[in-house]
Amino acid sequence: MPTSRCNVCALGISVLLCTAWAQTPPPDSVEAHLAAGKNAAGGRDNTPDFYGLVTALCVAPLSAPPRPDAPAPRMDPNRARAYLEPKKAFDDLYWMGTASRSTWALTTNDGIILYDTQSVYDAEDIIVGGLKKLGLDPAQIKYVIVSHAHENEVGGAKLMQERYGAHIVMGAGDWDMVAESVNGFPNGKPKRDIVATDGMKITLGGRSVTIYSMPGHTPGTISGIFQVHDHGTPLTVAYSGGTEFNFVNDVPHFDTYLASERRFAAIAADARATIIMGNQSQFDNAASKLRMLADRRAGEAHPLEVGAAAVARYFRIEDECAQAVRLRLLGQRN
Ligand SMILES: [Zn+2]
């Protein structure tokens, strides 16, 4: 405890006050950052909540990256049990996935922009089957944005590239991850295609996704800003490309993660994003919220429209809990 507090307590101001003070960790401590991250979860006073994000980053964070020679993805014979009904999320955005993994399809009058592609063994059923169920034609997929090259985001990229001639958009560092992967692509790798650069716009049929480089979760993680329409009303989405701490856990890597996260939080705020979205429903609750859509009343906000303040809280959780791990690492280094 800092001596200043002890001195104040020694003056005998108030036993109660000093007890409370002594229990409050100093602001730049592991405990304080974890508490701030958890408190940003919301869920009180009818605010939208991000408990899944808090669990993944503040309670039980991952601590190491998958190795380039990690074993090949396993085919689960019962995988179809996890597939949920695909949904129309907005006028021009569709969802396909499981309780934990999302693929999004932005529709335009000139084809489809697909965002993230499931694992190699799920892509055919979830994406191709899902689009057909939704009355959409998978052959219309023109661009596939891969937020990062982990197994559950990049798995279907080769299928989309080979069968439909779709362009694959991925950060340079993650194209390198694909190249270096030993066992990660049992059906072959997607061919290096569009290398995402910061500020790049992927435009199709008058719609654009603006890409931002977000190194941290992986070297080439990309996030995006785009608009959707809710019964004709435009809403701005901040698509967060990489979230968890399964990268090399040292101070420089956390510095990179934090710089990216803070920059994208500012970009999302400037863009007045009121929707935070990604490829994992644990974080944006997409799977359950889209099931809630059926019960939406007239005039009620879309369940995914959480508001700018909640979007800011989402990034605050990432920020505070990354700072907590970074401080812990800093302590271990000294
Ligand atoms: Zn990942």
pLDDT digits (tens, 9 = 90+) for 198-243: 999 999 999 999 999 999 999 999 999 999 999 999 999 999 999 9
Q: Using the mean position of ligand 1's atoms as its centre, give its distance from the Cα of residue 244 in Å.
A: 7
Give phi and psi for 185, each to the nearest 5.
-130, 75
Q: Using the mean position of ligand 1's atoms as its centre, give its distance from the Cα of residue 147 in Å.
A: 9
Q: Which two tokens stand for residue 20?
A: 């409370």
Q: Using the mean position of ligand 1's atoms as its centre, give its distance from the Cα of residue 298 in Å.
A: 37
Give the separation between CA 79 and CA 209, rounded to whole angstroms: 31
pLDDT digits (tens, 9 = 90+) for 262-275: 999 999 999 999 99
CA dihedral 313, 273, 174, 192 (to 10 degrees): 170
Mean pLDDT of the chain: 93
pLDDT band at 4 (very low <50, low <70, confident <90, very high): very low
pLDDT at 3: 40
Q: Using the mean position of ligand 1's atoms as its centre, give its distance from the Cα of residue 3 in Å.
A: 43
Q: Using the mean position of ligand 1's atoms as its centre, give its distance from the Cα of residue 27 in Å.
A: 30
Q: Using the mean position of ligand 1's atoms as its centre, give its distance from the Cα of residue 48 in Å.
A: 24
- CB proximity list for 304: less than 8 A, separation 6 or greater: 89, 275, 277, 284, 286, 289, 290
Please list the alpha-helical segments (H only) found in the chain: 3-10, 15-23, 30-39, 51-54, 123, 130-133, 151-154, 157-164, 172-180, 251-270, 281-284, 286-292, 308-333
Q: Using the mean position of ligand 1's atoms as its centre, give its distance from the Cα of residue 8 in Å.
A: 47
pLDDT digits (tens, 9 = 90+) for 22-57: 567 888 999 999 999 999 999 998 899 999 999 999
Q: Using the mean position of ligand 1's atoms as its centre, give its distance from the Cα of residue 247 in Å.
A: 9
What's the mean pLDDT in 142-155?
97
- Superfamily the domain 26-333 falls into: Ribonuclease Z/Hydroxyacylglutathione hydrolase-like (3.60.15.10)
Give the separation between CA 188 and CA 193, rounded to whole angstroms: 15
Q: Using the mean position of ligand 1's atoms as its centre, give its distance from the Cα of residue 11 in Å.
A: 52
pTM attached to this predicted model: 0.92
Cα angle 152-158-159, degrees, rounded to a multiple of 5: 95
Q: Using the mean position of ligand 1's atoms as its centre, give its distance from the Cα of residue 154 in Å.
A: 10
What's the mean pLDDT in 59-81?
92
Domain boundary assignment for the chain: 26-333
Q: Using the mean position of ligand 1's atoms as its centre, give its distance from the Cα of residue 304 in Å.
A: 22
Q: Using the mean position of ligand 1's atoms as its centre, give its distance from the Cα of residue 10 in Å.
A: 50
> Please, which residues bridge with residue 170 across strands?
195
pLDDT digits (tens, 9 = 90+) for 112-145: 999 999 999 999 999 999 999 999 999 999 999 9
pLDDT digits (tens, 9 = 90+) for 73-99: 999 999 999 999 999 999 999 999 999
Q: Which of 218, 144, 128 is nearest to 181 (CA)?
A: 218
Q: Using the mean position of ligand 1's atoms as its centre, give its distance from the Cα of residue 28 in Å.
A: 28
